[in-house]
Amino acid sequence: MFNDSKFLQRLIVPAHTKIVLLILDGLGGLPLESGGKTELETAHTPHLDVLAGKSALGLTIPVGPGITPGSGPGHLSIFGYDPIEYEIGRGALEALGVDFELEPEDVAARGNFCSVDPAGVLTDRRAGRLPTEESRKLVNILRNIQIAGVEFFIEPVKEHRFAFVMRGLGLGDALSETDPQKTGVPPLPVQALKPEAKRTAKLANQFIAQAGKLLAGKHPANMILLRGFAKFPSLPTYAERFGLRSAAIAIHGMYRGVAKSVGMTVLKVDGDTIMDEFSVLEKNWNDFDFFYLHVKKTDTCGENGDFTGKVHAIEEVDALVPRLLALEPDVIIVTGDHSSPAVLKSHSWHPVPLLLYGKYVRADGLAEFGERACSRGSLGLIPAKDVMPIALANAQRITKYGA
Amino acid sequence: MFNDSKFLQRLIVPAHTKIVLLILDGLGGLPLESGGKTELETAHTPHLDVLAGKSALGLTIPVGPGITPGSGPGHLSIFGYDPIEYEIGRGALEALGVDFELEPEDVAARGNFCSVDPAGVLTDRRAGRLPTEESRKLVNILRNIQIAGVEFFIEPVKEHRFAFVMRGLGLGDALSETDPQKTGVPPLPVQALKPEAKRTAKLANQFIAQAGKLLAGKHPANMILLRGFAKFPSLPTYAERFGLRSAAIAIHGMYRGVAKSVGMTVLKVDGDTIMDEFSVLEKNWNDFDFFYLHVKKTDTCGENGDFTGKVHAIEEVDALVPRLLALEPDVIIVTGDHSSPAVLKSHSWHPVPLLLYGKYVRADGLAEFGERACSRGSLGLIPAKDVMPIALANAQRITKYGA
d(Cα A271, Cα A257) in Å, to the nearest integer?
18
pLDDT given at position A4: 66
CB–CB contact A64 B398 (8 Å) = no
pLDDT of residue B131: 94
Nearest CA-CA partner of B371 in B341, B343, B351: B351
Nearest CA to A331 out of A315, A365, A355 is that of A355
Residue A106 DSSP label: -
**Under 8 Å between Cβ of B355 and A30:** no
Contact B392 A341 (CB under 8 A): no
Instruction: Calculate what percentage of chain B has a pLDDT beyond 70.
Output: 99
Q: Cβ–Cβ of A381/B376 closer than 8 Å?
A: no
Please state, in angstroms and rounded to a whole number, the distance separating the CA atoms of residues A376 and A364: 9
What pLDDT, in 10s, does the model give residues B241-274? 999 999 999 998 778 888 988 999 999 999 999 9
More confident: A96 or B197: B197
Tell me which residue in B364, B376, B398 faces A349 most closely, judged by beta carbons. Answer: B398
3-class secondary-structure state, position A57: strand
User: What DSSP string describes A108-139?
Assistant: EEEEEEEEE-TT--EEETTGGG--HHHHHHHH
Tell me the pLDDT tens digit for each residue of B49-85: 999 999 999 999 999 999 999 888 999 999 999 999 9
What is the predicted pLDDT for the residue at B2?
47
Tell me how crowded residue B175 is: count the other CB atoms within 10 A of its CB. Answer: 28
Residue A122 has pLDDT above 50, yes or no: yes
List of residues 6+ apart from B74 with CB closer than 8 A: B62, B63, B83, B336, B337, B338, B347, B384
Q: State which residue of chain A sits closest to B403, comparing Cα positions.
A: A70
With bands split at pLDDT 50, 70 and 90, how would you rate the model's confidence at A6? confident
Question: Is A397 in contact with A245 (CB distance < 8 Å)?
Answer: no
What DSSP assignment string belongs to B96-133?
HHTT----TT-EEEEEEEEEE-TTS-EEETTGGG--HH
Closest CA to B361 of A368, A66, A384, A63: A66
pTM of the model: 0.84
Per-residue pLDDT at B328 exceeds 60? yes
Contact B2 A65 (CB under 8 A): yes
* Residue range A153-180, pLDDT digits in tens: 999 998 999 999 999 999 999 999 999 9
pLDDT digits (tens, 9 = 90+) for A63-79: 999 999 988 899 999 99
- Say what the pLDDT of residue B107 is: 96
Asked whether residue A226 carries a pLDDT value surpassing 80, the answer given is yes
The answer to whether the CB of A233 falls within 8 A of the CB of A261 is yes
Q: What is the pLDDT of residue A102?
A: 78
Q: What chain A residue is nearest to B398 in terms of C-alpha separation?
A: A67
Q: How far is B378 from chain A (nearest CA, A)?
A: 5
Provide the shortest C-alpha distance from residue B272 to chain A (in Å): 35
Q: Do A67 and B401 touch (CB under 8 A)?
A: yes
Mutate to test the interface with B, among A157, A181, A349 (most CBs of B within 10 A): A349
Model confidence at B232, in pLDDT bands (50, 70, 90)? Answer: confident
**Distance in Å, alpha carbon of A399 to nearest chain B alpha carbon:** 27
**Which residues of chain B neighbour A67 with C-beta distances below 8 Å?**
2, 8, 11, 389, 393, 398, 401
Residue type, A79: F
Task: Identify the three-state secondary structure at position A227.
Answer: strand
From residue A177, alpha-carbon distances to A173, A190, A201, A310 in Å are 11, 6, 10, 33
pLDDT at residue number A155? 95
CB contact (8 A) between residue A371 and residue B362: yes
At B89 the pLDDT is 83
pLDDT at B3 > cutoff 70: no
* Dist CA B300 CA B294 (whole Å): 13
Of the candidate ranges A188-197, A257-266, A277-286, the one whose mean pLDDT is the lowest: A257-266
User: Helix crossing, A274-283 with A307-326: angle to 10°?
Assistant: 20
pLDDT band at residue B4 using 50, 70 and 90 as cut-offs: low
pLDDT-derived band at A260, boundaries 50, 70, 90: confident
Cβ neighbors of A181 (< 8 A, separation 6 or more) are A125
Across the range A197-209, mean pLDDT stands at 97
- E-strand spans in B188-339? 223-230, 246-249, 265-266, 290-295, 331-335
Are A67 and B11 an interchain contact pair (Cβ–Cβ within 8 Å)?
A: yes
- Minimal CA separation from B377 to chain A, in Å: 7
Nearest CA in chain A to B401: A69
Please, which residues have CB within 8 angstroms of residue B207's CB and are 6 or more apart in sequence? Answer: B145, B147, B152
Instruction: Kindly state the greatest CA–CA separation across chain A.
Output: 75
A73 to B2: CB separation less than 8 angstroms, yes or no = no
Among B3, B362, B388, the residue to mutate for chain A (most A Cβ within 10 A): B362
Which residues of chain A are at the B interface, by a Cβ-Cβ cutoff of 8 Å? Answer: 30-31, 34-35, 38, 59, 63-74, 82-85, 87-90, 93, 228, 341, 343-344, 346-351, 371-372, 375-376, 380-381
How many angstroms away from the CA of B387 is the closest CA of chain A? 8
Pairing of strands B122-124, B107-116: antiparallel
Q: How far does A282 lie from chain B, in Å, by closest CA?
A: 31
Asked if the model's pLDDT at residue B87 lies above 90, the reply is: no
DSSP assigned state of B230 = E
Determine which of A10-24, A256-270, B194-208 has the lowest per-residue pLDDT on average: A256-270
**Mean per-residue pLDDT of chain A:** 94
Q: At what angle do helices A253-261 and A90-97 cross, to 10 degrees?
A: 100
Q: Do A87 and B402 touch (CB under 8 A)?
A: yes
Identify the CA nearest to A77 among candidates B303, B227, B1.
B1
Is B97's pLDDT higher than 90? Answer: no
Q: pLDDT class for A1, splitting at 50, 70, 90?
A: very low
- Answer whether residue B1 shows pLDDT above 50: no
B38 min Cα distance to partner chain A (Å): 23
- Rounded CA gap, B207 and B214, in Å? 11
- Quote the ipTM score: 0.83
- Rounded CA separation A218/A134 (Å): 10
Query: Distance (Å, rounded) from C-alpha B224 to C-alpha B218?
Result: 11
Nearest CB partner across the interface for B390, out of A65, A82, A84: A65
CA distances from B109 to A27, A117, B95, B167, B221 (A): 54, 68, 8, 12, 18
Name the band, by pLDDT with cuts 50, 70 and 90, for residue B234.
Answer: confident
Which runs of consecutive H residues, i.e. helices, occur in A98-252?
132-142, 198-214, 238-242
Chain B residues lying within 8 Å of A65, measured CB to CB: 2, 382, 386-387, 389-390, 393
Q: Which residues pair with A264 in a beta bridge?
A: none
Cβ(B90)–Cβ(B227) under 8 Å? yes
